Amino acid sequence: MSADDVVALQPINTLVVIGLGLIGGSLALSLKSAGACKRVVGIAPDPLVRQRAIERGMVDESYASIGDVAAQLGEGDVVFIAVPTLAIREVLESVKGCVPATVTVTDGASVKGSVLEDVKAVYGKVPEQLVLGHPIAGSEQSGVEAARVGLYANHRIILTPTEETSDQHKDRVADMWRAVGAEVLELDVENHDAILGATSHLPHVIAFSLVDTLAHDSHNEDIFRYAAGGFRDFTRIASSDVVMWRDIMLANRDAVLEAIDLFSSNLAVLRKTIAESDSDELTEIFSRAKQARDQFTHVMDKQKS
């Protein structure tokens, strides 16, 4: 199914978003704009965030804690957890204490293995109402002001259901994402973390490390003044939220280390090729990379059009 197809959806009664930043706020705004849920409730510990979410029309009501609204929830309602990866466990503890088993509970964290471990630790099992997910959409911006309608349109959402996840809850979450124009895919947790470790987490490691390296080069105080467009393109993601990325690296440590090791050994090959002035091999490596990247952008552009 293409993301542009009009789909018949079960509307959500109440959507509760825990964490009113880029990811949670954008889902709230997008579902409201699509008319795909009757009521949106925001949960945020910071009163200023709660106020801005109301002012921006992101939520109808906002509370400091899920306990303030949980008793009103039931079948047909969805709780979406959109907080930094290592804050998920604490949020699950608060959800477990008060949210009925009929309510669909899902998340948007960038790492799925650690969240699955958190679920097992908190619930002692994987409840059928839990549907773990990850929107492959976002940016280097964060916070309540960064949220926007349309963030998920024509983007992919990966769900990582386990055998315990019920079809009914999974379908509800898939419908929710389709209502905001996303394409829904499924992966198992381990594959998800290995793939995202290589394609998302490693690029952030490299971007943060490159900027940190250059910023600490005492001989080059003015170094960024002379940077060309390529530097800006390549390092945009080093402006991303620090807590979010610290959590991702710690939560997906093994997959990230594996990706760093593979990259380091390929970088060492490239270094040797340059040191030896091996023109043929350099042409070969760059041609392979250019072809792969051109093919990737062609596929991505076709998806957008």
Ligand X SMILES: O=C(O)C(=O)Cc1ccc(O)cc1
User: Which residues bind to ligand NAI, rule: CB under 6 A?
Assistant: 18-24, 43-46, 49, 82-85, 87, 90-91, 108-110, 134-135, 138-139, 142-143, 241, 244, 248
Tokens of 74: 């039931």
Judge contact between 146 and 139, C-beta under 8 A.
Answer: yes
State the minimum distance, in angstroms, from the CB of residue 231 to ligand NAI: 21
User: DSSP string covering 152-218, please?
Assistant: TTT-EEEE---TTS-HHHHHHHHHHHHHTTPEEEE--HHHHHHHHIIIIIHHHHHHHHHHHHHHT-T
Nearest residue (CB) to ligand X, 17 versus 111: 111
Amino acid present at 54: I
User: Per-residue b/e over 150-179, b at no fewer than 16 CB within 10 Å?
Assistant: ebbebbbbbbbbbeebeeebbebbbbbbbb
CA distance 207 to 211: 6
- Selection from ligand NAI, ligand X, none that 237 binds (CB < 5 to 8 A by kind) is ligand X
Closest distance to ligand NAI from the beta carbon of 134 (Å): 6
Cβ closer to ligand X: 114 or 129? Answer: 114
- Residue closer to ligand X (CB basis): 20 or 237: 237
Question: Residue 99 or 273: which CB sits closer to ligand NAI?
Answer: 99
Binding residues for ligand X, rule: CB under 6 A, are 110, 136, 138-140, 200, 237
Terminal alpha carbon distance of the chain: 15
Q: What is the DSSP letter of 146?
A: G
181 binds, among ligand NAI, ligand X, none (CB under 5 to 8 A by kind): none
From the CB of 23, what's the least distance to ligand X, in Å?
A: 9
Comparing CB distances to ligand X, the nearer of 172 and 192 is 192
Q: Nearest approach, Cβ of 56 to ligand X (angstroms)?
A: 21
